[in-house]
Structure 1
């Protein structure tokens, strides 16, 4: 009886482990480098990754509940589908799968379509899974610090339609709650789906005004230039990933990704409180930066 967390040392995985660590459940963390992984006390490191089939089979022995986070890799879809098949063969009674908000609609964005393919498999085989669909992470905008403070510009080309950005701490808590619910149940539970979304529709004008308020100085929007975005991302990541991110931002500009009140309320019912807001993130970040 154990919960296995994949993607355990990443942005989301660390949040999941933080919310699981004091639960009393046996927690294992899948990692390529167990000897150097910084894990909470009591969490057991298990060597492996989703691209290592035999290693994943070994890692899933005696595991009853799986948190599945496929890496943002060129073969993400293959890794996710194979992991689901291996979990199914292993008799795992519960799965929490990290998908993406609007995955079924953004068919031209590779990593969105990869995640929705995994959702289709979960549905077709009636796997005992909770699908979590997070929107764009609020904490991604920590990377805007230099542009905001040095140049007075918000530089991510999110467009005018709006995105219901989500706090990664809410993702971790939602995942932990569903993992523990499924782990503690006597038998496999029916499927569930949650959109992991924030209460604010963050767009160009709104985000500029919010950061202006938080930093107490005028902040302008850097514009919708996707060519420049791709070039900037190519300097720090593979070309395929830079283009994937450009396609995602293109769809955000064209269509937005704004949650309905019902979707926000459903997440609130899972968390037992309202999701954290982008405005609170901006205010707390500005206060922290002022102390540095």
Structure 2
């Protein structure tokens, strides 16, 4: 076996994870990737046959179990972790995962996938939590604070360096609106009119891979926002889909009716708690937007090694694919 690094990735079947596996396996350092999953057979079936399976290690178990996580890290001598988590138990899972990393004493660098805003203690002191009520967003404040203020330095036993990535709203989220766009000519997400940055999950994967390979040399103790500098309102997104499809697509407004309708629809798919949680997130977007600064954008280019992908191109290409169906 070669002596390249070994990276553990959570959510390997997700929008970021499936891209990250491919990027990592293409690198000259020839890393091995460890993929914990609750269903090894399913994950294995989702991986492309073009990938070097000799460097992929699928481990079946529950990432909510810190003993499983710690034993997996030790067994594979994992040197870096890409931590991408969501779900009802996100806070428990994140903190237990970080503790398992500490006790493994093998991991030297962690890339944590957060979200595209300033979640620092200074930001909180300046009112960042005002109007912020979505649980899956609030947990990011705690996780980032733990990394910034509660982790031992890398040179100490149990310590590690870290990089935080702050992606904006995924391009791929629009795919969930396909039926509403095509059948009802409505973009059914209440993005509001303050403007929301958009991001290609492939760019997040590239940023994560580059941060793992950097191994704390340049990008340690930094948060890097990932996504477009340009922001998009509900009306602008509906207009993009209208132009791409050649038909009129109406936006969903960020008012009581629009937010309520979205909450009910999403709740039917993901449950009422998540319906409310996403509504609360979009309420915040409607009040203050979801964006990055020009400085954030330039820093991102440094990590990616290029400009981020175009949301407009994504809409055009996706509309073209839908039109062929």
TM-score by length of 1: 0.93
Which residue is 2:275 aligned to?
242
1:244-259 paired onto structure 2 within 5 Å = 244-259=277-292
Deviations 1:22-81 (A, max 9, x none): 2211111111122331334321101223211211111111111111112x2222111101
Aligned with residue 61 of structure 2, among 48, 52, 60? 48
Which residue is 2:172 aligned to?
139
CA contact (8 A) 2:80 2:212 kept: yes
Deviations 1:157-185 (A, max 9, x none): 101001001111111111111112218x6
CA contact (8 A) 1:50 1:80 kept: no
Aligned with residue 133 of structure 2, among 102, 108, 132? 108
Structure 2 portions without partners, runs of 5+: 120-127, 154-159
SS class of match (1:60): helix
Which residue is 1:117 aligned to?
142
Tell me how far apart the structure 1 counterparts of residues 292 and 112 of structure 2 sit (CA, whole Å): 20
Question: What is the Cα deviation at residue 11 of structure 1?
Answer: 1.6
Question: What is the Cα deviation at residue 131 of structure 1?
Answer: 0.3
Which residue is 1:171 aligned to?
204
Tell me how far apart the structure 2 counterparts of residues 36 and 205 of structure 1 sit (CA, whole Å): 39
In the alignment, does 2:206 pair up with 1:206? no
Deviations 1:182-215 (A, max 9, x none): 18x6xx9732210112233110221122112211
Q: Structure 2 vs 1, CA of residues 198 and 189 (structure 1 numbering), >3 Å: closer, same or farther?
A: closer
Tell me how far apart the structure 2 counterparts of residues 221 and 161 of structure 1 sit (CA, whole Å): 14
Aligned with residue 69 of structure 1, among 78, 84, 102? 84
SS class of match (1:199): coil
CA contact (8 A) 2:37 2:61 kept: yes
Aligned with residue 12 of structure 1, among 5, 16, 21? 16
Which residue is 1:227 aligned to?
260
Which residue is 2:245 aligned to?
215
Structure 1 portions without partners, runs of 5+: none
Answer with 116-125 or 188-197: which moved more. 188-197
CA contact (8 A) 1:32 1:49 kept: yes
Which residue is 1:277 aligned to?
310
SS class of match (1:235): helix
Number of residue pairs the alignment of both structures matches: 288
TM-score by length of 2: 0.84
